[in-house]
Amino acid sequence: MGSRASRGILRNTTFVLFVLVFVVFGMLARNFLTLGNLQVILSNSSYIGIITVGMTFVLLVGGIDLSVGSIMYLSAVATSLVVNDLELSPWLGVVACLGVGLAFGALNAFAVTRLGIVPFIATLVTMIAGRGLGLLVTQSVQLDFPDSITLLATVRLGGVQLNILIYALVVAAAALFLAYTSWGRRLYAVGNDPEAARKAGLKVPRLIGSTYVLSGVCAALGGFVSIAQIGRVPAGFGRNNEFDAIAAAVLGGVSLFGGVGTVFPGALLGTVMIRVIQAGLVARNIDIYIQPIIMGAIIFFAVLLDALRNLQLKKLGRRNIMKMET
């Protein structure tokens, strides 16, 4: 009975943690669970949520992308060059922003699938190089954006902020893609067993490469949504957001070992959880030097849960094999 209950909890950790986080901070911080505050949390979750969607695709094939924060920064720099320096249309700024994300995503894909570099190392290199290139262009000077960009954050459609709608569209498109397309199902197959996927005739390098391209585009889009909200880009823009995205995905039930996880509701709930925790720590006036320690502990806890889930799946797999043999 106890083992059955523990298996049930491990299978539904996302929902259990989501409810637990809301209840705890709702009790600790007065007016924390008001509708207005929840809307602010959801709005602030939008840009990191978009990045988490891209990260989810990479994790599903057993990879990792450490470069998303640097892609955010470099994409924002490209947007500034187009809008501020060249004084062109904000829409061309969006194109430049997404173009940088596409280029760096393709570079990651090439390094991982063609050069055979381990994803951790490949994306670590692009993380460092991308940040360095951005700092070289800007000379570490803060970039400020005109009203043509920042006013986008004030746009509402049907009473809903534009950034939330963009996030919702990205989540919906990704969830439908994974659930109802053959390409999406193949990504799960690659994550579960790359060698078996190759023997089945799947084009594994192309499938893996596509996830890095998508992650780069999502990072760029998340960066644009963020600059529209804050209107400026300091030298540290996007730094450490890769860890928030990984933590959000894993808290949402996406496995670091590949082949397990969903964008909706998994990664969505994980993203909101991360933002709720951060907002709750601020609401409780927790020391700013202690907050990173708490977030680090949460990331460790998320990885531990993932390891326990993976161990459980292996045990179930062995039991099924033994039953088939008997």
Q: Mind listing the pLDDT tens digit for each residue in 228-250?
A: 999 999 999 999 899 889 989 98
Say what the pLDDT of residue 325 is. 44
What gap in Å lies between CA 68 and CA 66, rounded to an integer?
A: 6
Angle at 69 between CA 64 and CA 70, to 5 degrees: 105
Q: What are phi and psi of 31, to 5 degrees?
A: 65, 15
Say what the pLDDT of residue 4 is. 60
Say what the pLDDT of residue 186 is. 96
Full-model pTM = 0.89
**What tens digit of pLDDT does each residue of 2-55 get?**
456 555 555 667 777 778 877 887 777 777 777 777 788 888 889 999 999 999
What gap in Å lies between CA 225 and CA 141, rounded to an integer?
A: 20
Burial classification of residue 152, based on how many CB atoms lie within 10 Å of its CB (0-12 exposed, 13-18 middle, 19 or more buried)? buried
Say what the pLDDT of residue 82 is. 94
* Model confidence at 211: pLDDT above 70: yes
Report the percent of the chain where pLDDT is more than 70: 91
**What tens digit of pLDDT does each residue of 75-115 get?**
999 999 999 988 899 999 999 999 999 999 999 999 999 99
Closest CA to 219 of 80, 106, 82, 88: 106
Say what the pLDDT of residue 17 is. 77
Say what the pLDDT of residue 273 is. 87
What gap in Å lies between CA 321 and CA 219, rounded to an integer?
A: 41
Closest CA to 154 of 165, 146, 145, 163: 163
Closest CA to 242 of 62, 120, 67, 47: 67
* Model confidence at 305: pLDDT above 50: yes
* Model confidence at 1: pLDDT above 50: no
Q: Give the chain's mean pLDDT.
A: 87
* Model confidence at 322: pLDDT above 50: no
Say what the pLDDT of residue 313 is. 61
**What tens digit of pLDDT does each residue of 270-296 get?**
998 888 888 888 878 888 889 888 888
Query: Taking residues 62-68, what's their average pLDDT?
Result: 96
Say what the pLDDT of residue 152 is. 81
User: In the structure, what pLDDT confidence band is assigned to residue 151 with cuts at 50, 70 and 90?
Assistant: confident
**What tens digit of pLDDT does each residue of 163-186 get?**
999 999 999 999 999 999 999 999
* Model confidence at 209: pLDDT above 90: yes
What gap in Å lies between CA 93 and CA 83, rounded to an integer?
A: 6
- What residue segments make up the domains of the chain, in order of their start? 43-268
* Model confidence at 59: pLDDT above 90: yes
- Out of 118-127, 149-158, 164-173, 242-251, least confident range: 149-158
